[in-house]
């Protein structure tokens, strides 16, 4: 079963003294990733919306790993204000940030909107992490070598970036299609800086990937596999008698535990052999080609510009990023 599920992280490397941020780390893959990295000596920051659950998760991880450098911080990716506040505190209080794991996500929820009026899946899965990553980018550069790890999904293959209606305001809402778009967006280039090689950081996959010696920041994406987590609570699978009884044995074989699903993000965070490897997409522990649209540089540039406009991110004349609203 472990072989079918993809296996465990082969690297034994530790990250003693390195600071790690894991979004959505109070449960599921995020919590297990934080636990795995805490075992390896990291200074772990759990970034979550629900602080009661976040504090409980941090307590669990401290108890299990005996690593007392595990802390809970409030971050609501459905709120641009919350993201800015979180990033400002990190920049002020943390000397270094070495690893950013963009893990949090919502999946196939009803047609909800974020605090700022974005379709929830696009707003959280893409725009929230887009703003967070760019606000922390200078800190990551100053901490180099550092790594950005984006949790994607095999669902990105079925996604399409509809620039005419990114927020599903004109079409009849399709929760599955909206999820697929939200998982394709970061992969198509939405967490990159415009001008890839010129700016020095590029989201996976990136046709014009810069030399790692440029900024010392690498960016990779992954599909963790299908896992038994709370992410699928809106799909109906948990309440389906057919799924539970008829497909139960198949699910047991193919659906990963959160611990196994966290092995890929752990691997991308710590593996010494991945030092300097950037712009790649991993399915489990193996590099894999992403969907063709994810490699379209023209789409990537357009999406970056539109995402920056939506979240109020402004580029200065240099390569730094300012996270102030455009009207300020």
Q: What is the mean pLDDT of residues 286-291?
A: 81
Sign of the alpha-carbon dihedral angle for 234, 238, 240, 243: positive
75, two tokens: 């971050």
H-helix or E-strand containing 2? helix 2-5
Query: How far apart are the C-alpha atoms of 48 and 38, rounded to whole Å?
Result: 17
- Grade residue 292 by pLDDT with cuts at 50, 70 and 90: low
Confidence band of 110 (pLDDT split at 50, 70, 90): confident
What tens digit of pLDDT does each residue of 112-161 get? Answer: 799 999 999 999 999 999 999 999 999 999 999 999 999 886 554 556 78
Beta strands in 143-193 (DSSP E): 146-151
pTM of the entire predicted model: 0.82
> What pLDDT sits at residue 160?
73
What's the confidence (pLDDT) of residue 249?
A: 46
User: Are the C-beta atoms of 312 and 324 separated by less than 8 Å?
Assistant: yes
Higher pLDDT, 297 or 315: 297
pLDDT digits (tens, 9 = 90+) for 32-66: 999 999 999 999 999 999 999 999 999 999 999 99
> Which of 147, 149, 138 is CA-nearest to residue 24?
149
> In sequence order, what are the beta bridge partners of 101?
22, 149
Examine the residue annotation and report whether 179 is marked as an active-site residue of this protein.
yes
Pair of tokens at residue 178:
């909206």
Task: Report the C-alpha gap between 76 and 274 in whole angstroms.
Answer: 30
How far are the Cα atoms of 12, 59, 185, 237, 280 from residue 288, in angstroms, in the given order? 23, 36, 18, 28, 8
In total, the chain counts a number of residues equal to 328
**Angle CA 242–247–248, to nearest 5:** 105
Which backbone phi and psi does 282 adopt, to 5 degrees?
A: -115, 135
| Domain regions of the chain by residue span | 19-191+208-231+257-310
pLDDT single digits (tens) 197-245: 333 344 443 333 333 446 899 999 988 865 454 444 434 444 444 444 4
CATH number of the structural domain 19-191+208-231+257-310 = 3.40.50.720
In the set 173, 179, 267, 281, the catalytic residue is 179
pLDDT at 173: 83
């Amino acid at each position: 079963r472990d072989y079918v599920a993809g296996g465990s992280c082969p690297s034994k490397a530790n990250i003693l003294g390195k600071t790690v941020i894991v979004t959505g780390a109070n449960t599921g893959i995020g919590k297990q990733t934080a636990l795995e990295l805490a075992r390896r000596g990291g200074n772990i920051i759990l970034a979550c919306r629900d602080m009661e659950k976040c504090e409980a998760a941090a307590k669990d991880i401290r108890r299990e790993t005996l690593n007392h450098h595990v802390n809970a911080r409030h971050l609501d990716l459905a709120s641009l204000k919350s993201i800015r506040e979180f990033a400002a505190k990190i920049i002020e209080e943390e000397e270094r940030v070495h690893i950013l794991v963009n893990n949090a996500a919502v999946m196939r929820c009803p047609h909800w909107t974020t605090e700022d009026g974005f379709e929830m899946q696009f707003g959280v899965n893409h725009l929230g992490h887009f703003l967070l990553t760019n606000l922390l980018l200078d800190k990551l550069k100053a901490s180099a070598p550092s790594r950005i790890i984006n949790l994607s999904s095999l669902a990105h293959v079925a996604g399409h970036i509809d620039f005419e209606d990114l927020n599903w305001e004109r079409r009849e809402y399709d929760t599955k299609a909206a999820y697929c778009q939200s998982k394709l967006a970061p992969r198509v280039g939405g967490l990159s800086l415009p001008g890839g090689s010129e700016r020095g950081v590029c989201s996976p996959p990136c046709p014009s990937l810069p030399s790692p010696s440029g900024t010392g920041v690498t960016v990779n994406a992954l599909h963790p596999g299908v896992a038994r987590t709370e992410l699928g609570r809106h799909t109906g699978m948990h309440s389906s008698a057919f799924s539970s009884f008829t497909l139960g044995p198949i699910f047991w074989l193919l659906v990963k535990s959160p611990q196994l699903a966290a092995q890929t993000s752990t691997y991308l965070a710590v593996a010494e052999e991945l030092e300097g490897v950037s712009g790649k997409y991993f399915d489990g522990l193996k590099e894999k080609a992403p969907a063709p649209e994810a490699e379209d540089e023209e789409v990537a540039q357009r999406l970056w510009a539109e995402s920056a406009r939506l979240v109020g991110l402004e580029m200065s004349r240099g390569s730094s990023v300012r996270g102030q609203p455009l009207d300020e």
